[in-house]
Chains A and B, each alone.
Chain A
Amino acid sequence: NSALDAAVPAGEPPAALHDAMRYALLAGGKRVRPALCLAACVVSGGREAWAMAPAAAVEMVHTMSLVHDDLPCMDDDDLRRGKATCHVVYGEPIAVLAGDALLALAFEHMASVDSYPPDVDPAKHAARVVRSIGELARCIGSEGLVAGQVVDLEMTGSTETVPLDRLEYIHLHKTAALLEASVVIGAIIGGGSEEQIERLRKYARSIGLLFQVVDDILDVTKSSEELGKTAGKDLASDKTTYPKLLGLEKSREFAEKLLSDAKEQLADFDKEKAAPLLYLANYIAYRQN
């Protein structure tokens, strides 16, 4: 949180734009993506500090996607994490710009030499960062995060029930892609081998899907107060969810399977260093909001 706080200048003009960025970015939240990025860096042989800038960057990208997602022309949400959404507080145009600026800041922050501690490997660091930026950009673009949002939008208007493979496509892109980027970037910056990077990529895809399955389950089993956002919204909007397609019990079984798949990918890593990733997988599976 303090890295994020330091990354967005407060008080620098234009003040209202920076206020809107900080409002969205510092609204709390579980910070799952930065945590994954840092943990993946350590498990791949790096130091946590090496991945602090990329970790902040993935959270900025995540925040930006939420700000744009909440806009009236998209999901039209008034409430996020128990607080009024960015466009409700600052107006639509500033919310669009704040999102764009957060996206730009993520890349600027990642590409800047000043964002990294002096003890990174001077011979390899620049190449690793270039590759990481490419990975982040690919995961959030028209073949990643945005692809998931597009297909989701196209499905929302339709009265047909979304088939399972389509639902999985949406979640793999909308949610898992950025989790994948977070983990893979951490592994690259940490100096992981190609094999380690690919194992962690599979781990991230599993927990990404797991994240969404659990989200769907929570939506039907918890109240708005417990979630910090409008509960039962999926049902009310007739959105296709895992419980709706598979039933609640089968959804829970599917979640268990995804969790064990994710854990399997961690088997060959140093147990102690992999502990945070194991913890995060369990956390995503068993969280209550």
Chain B
Amino acid sequence: MALSSLFVSLPLPIPRPPSTSKSSRFLPIRASPAAAATASPSFDLRRYWTSLISEVEGELDAAMPIRPPESIHNAMRHAVLPGAGKEGAAKRAPPVLCVAACELLGAPRAAALPTAAALEMLHAASLVHDDLPCFDAAPTRRGRPSTHAAYGTDMAVLAGDALFPLAYTHVISRTPSPDPVSHAVLLRVLAELARTVGSTGMAAGQFLDLAGASALGEAEVMQVLTKKFGEMAECSAACGAMLGGAGPDEEAALRRYGRTIGVLYELVDDMRSASGNGKMRSNASVLRSLGMDRALGIVEELKAQAKTEADRFGDKYGDRVLPLYSFVDYAVERGFELQDAATAKL
């Protein structure tokens, strides 16, 4: 089947190829709220995601009280927390993935929540620096002025510099440790977080992106996507796995799952932006380098990979694997808008 012709002839979201519900053990996952109601008692991703977002944002809010010097704390809050109304609502995919991986293994949500919030801080810190005039010079982010536009370039550099250590402080001070999370596990989580934002992870992705990998071939472009987005998602899943007490095989599978989901999510995002009028989030757009046909092929490959990894957990953990499947479908279909859900609580 010519997927490309399907894609251009049908309205977004990208249509799901027929017969995806191959497993009879699981009800088909529907991401849209209307579908979820009819498919009850199927897993409701929207409710799961929404409740987690409010918990994570509660953590973030509490972690950054406004204290002297106020200017820097205001800038940090601006970078991490959504504004009033619809502006600035974030989907918080990394923390949701982290908590889902932890809960999959049967561990309490409280073990993963501080790390989930830390992932958002690290993510926000790198976005603040990525938006600086010497990089993307982005005047807005999530529909609001970017941090440097609102607080000045110097304050934006410092806000990023302060968010990185705050993430580690938060994990250390809020994770229930040494019980149920041992100090040794906590150290592995801290090392994982630091490695992911470091010179071989996200900073490498930003650097490669800066160097203009879009002019290069598929391997280079995929490398940017993997470094900039795949590794963050891998880190989220891996941290959730460690905090949930995963064995080595489970951790490895969740890593692969996370990395695949991260790239998948970004790739679909690029395709949606290219079809609409949104801004490319990555300079190394797969579409520009590879064309829509190849991009659609990669989407299908990634989807199959992610489902294969999730399948490993089905027998052992039953319904707790459902969030993992639902992320795959959500990444591709974007069946609902989380902005509404996230701001409904405000």
Interface residues, chain A, with chain B CB atoms under 8 Å away: 8, 12-14, 16-18, 21, 64-65, 68, 71, 73-74, 91-94, 96-101, 103-108, 111-113, 126-127, 129-131, 133-134, 136-138, 140-143, 146-147, 149-151, 153-154
Contact yes or no, A150 B158, CB < 8 A = yes
Interface residues, chain B, with chain A CB atoms under 8 Å away: 67-69, 71-73, 76, 125-126, 129, 132-135, 152-155, 157-158, 160-162, 164-166, 168-169, 172-173, 177-178, 182-184, 186-188, 190-191, 193-195, 197-201, 203-204, 206-208, 210-211
Partner of A150, one of B72, B129, B191, B197: B72
Contact yes or no, B195 A108, CB < 8 A = yes
B157 to chain A minimum Cβ distance, whole angstroms, is 6
Contact yes or no, A104 B164, CB < 8 A = yes
Q: What residue in chain A is nearest B188 (Cβ atoms)? A: A111
Q: What residue in chain B is nearest A146 (Cβ atoms)? A: B162
Q: What residue in chain A is nearest B160 (Cβ atoms)? A: A100
Q: Write out the residue numbers on chain A whose beta carbons fall within 8 Å of the beta carbon of B168.
A: 107, 133-134, 137
Given contacts A92-B134, A105-B198, A130-B183, contact A97 B165 (CB under 8 A): no
A36 to chain B minimum Cβ distance, whole angstroms, is 19
Q: Write out the residue numbers on chain B whose beta carbons fall within 8 Å of the beta carbon of A8.
A: 199
Docked complex Cα distance between A137 and B162 (Å): 9
Docked complex Cα distance between A34 and B130 (Å): 31
Contact yes or no, A96 B187, CB < 8 A = no
Contact yes or no, A93 B183, CB < 8 A = no
Contact yes or no, B199 A105, CB < 8 A = yes
- Which of B67, B73, B134, B210 has the largest number of chain A CB atoms within 10 A? B134
Q: What residue in chain A is nearest B126 (Cβ atoms)? A: A100
Contact yes or no, A107 B194, CB < 8 A = yes
Docked complex Cα distance between A96 and B202 (Å): 13
Contact yes or no, A146 B158, CB < 8 A = yes
Q: Write out the residue numbers on chain B whose beta carbons fall within 8 Å of the beta carbon of A16.
A: 207, 211
Contact yes or no, B157 A71, CB < 8 A = yes
Q: What residue in chain A is nearest B198 (Cβ atoms)? A: A104
Docked complex Cα distance between A18 and B199 (Å): 7
